[in-house]
Chain A
Amino acid sequence: KQEVTQIPAALSVPEGENLVLNCSFTDSAIYNLQWFRQDPGKGLTSLLLIQSSQREQTSGRLNASLDKSSGRSTLYIAASQPGDSATYLCAGKAAGNKLTFGGGTRVLVKP
């Protein structure tokens, strides 16, 4: 059974610092790994999707890497802004289109 873990559970940084969010998964037989953003009381917004055959994906200030052999993915957010404050969730996709989510990392970017 796939288990997804995110460390740290919470992170607070001053504006301008780079953010590094970690995600680990136990079953390397994933189809893809996705990163989502969730604002308080809201649904999820997809940020990046990395296919199992890829090593990384980039979108603007966001970069996500995937290392299947070690069961890890990392989300980098460059030059953080207060608007980046949210909870970030990673999820591994298995057969049947099912997503297994990590516990999330709550990020606070202080102005």
Chain B
Amino acid sequence: GAVVSQHPSRVICKSGTSVKIECRSLDFQATTMFWYRQFPKQSLMLMATSNEGSKATYEQGVEKDKFLINHASLTLSTLTVTSAHPEDSSFYICSAPIRYAGVLQDTQYFGPGTRLTVL
């Protein structure tokens, strides 16, 4: 099956610093990727839709200036948490569907997640 990787798997940073998380599709091209956030013992909440070559679409309540998304290539999307604070500590997961014959397929492939801890 298709593989999606994330890097780093775990990051600890000081309050006020910025952290970049990478999401890569390893064996397929992903024109669209999704970024989710998951707090402990809670479900996944969609943050934004990342589109290759264009601006990301953010869900209501998600600050686009705080969570910068760049999808510069067909296999890489990055999420940068700017000026991170302790309340940004969470598990960030990306996913990508395969596009076949120009149509996004139903199955989404999820990355293994990145655990962010802001001290």
Q: Are B106 and A98 in contact (CB under 8 A)?
A: no
Instruction: Kindly state whether residue B56 has any CB partner on chain A within 8 Å.
Output: no
Total number of residue pairs linking A and B with CB closer than 8 Å: 56
Q: What residue of chain B has the Cβ atom nearest to residue A96's Cβ?
A: B49
Distance, CA A51 to CA B107, complexed state (A)? 11
Instruction: Kindly state whether residue A109 has any CB partner on chain B within 8 Å.
Output: no
Tell me the count of chain A residues lying within 8 A, CB to CB, of chain B.
Answer: 25
Q: Are A101 and B44 in contact (CB under 8 A)?
A: yes
Distance, CA A49 to CA B6, complexed state (A)? 24
Q: Are B42 and A97 in contact (CB under 8 A)?
A: no
Classify the interface of chain A: helix, strand, loop or mixed: strand
Interfacial residues of chain B within 1-22, with CB under 8 A of chain A in the complex? 4, 6
Q: Are B106 and A49 in contact (CB under 8 A)?
A: yes
Distance, CA A49 to CA B62, complexed state (A)? 28
From A34, A43, A46, A89, B112 is in contact (CB under 8 Å) with A43
B28-54 CB mask vs A (1 if < 8 Å, else 0) is: 000010100000011111100100000
From B32, B46, B109, A99 is in contact (CB under 8 Å) with B46
Q: Are B104 and A97 in contact (CB under 8 A)?
A: yes
Interfacial residues of chain B within 90-119, with CB under 8 A of chain A in the complex? 91, 93, 95, 97, 104, 106-113, 115
Q: What residue of chain B has the Cβ atom nearest to residue A89's Cβ?
A: B43
From B4, B49, B112, B113, A98 is in contact (CB under 8 Å) with B49
Q: Are A49 and B32 in contact (CB under 8 A)?
A: no
| Extra contacts besides A41-B115, A43-B4, A46-B108 (15): CB < 8 Å | A42-B112, A43-B6, A43-B111, A44-B95, A45-B110, A46-B110, A51-B106, A97-B32, A97-B49, A97-B104, A97-B108, A99-B108, A102-B43, A104-B43, A106-B41
Q: Closest 4 A-B residue pairs measured CB to CB?
A: A44-B110, A43-B112, A43-B110, A101-B43
A selection of 9 A-B contacts at a CB cut-off of 8 Å is: A43-B6, A44-B93, A46-B108, A97-B49, A98-B34, A98-B49, A101-B43, A101-B44, A103-B42
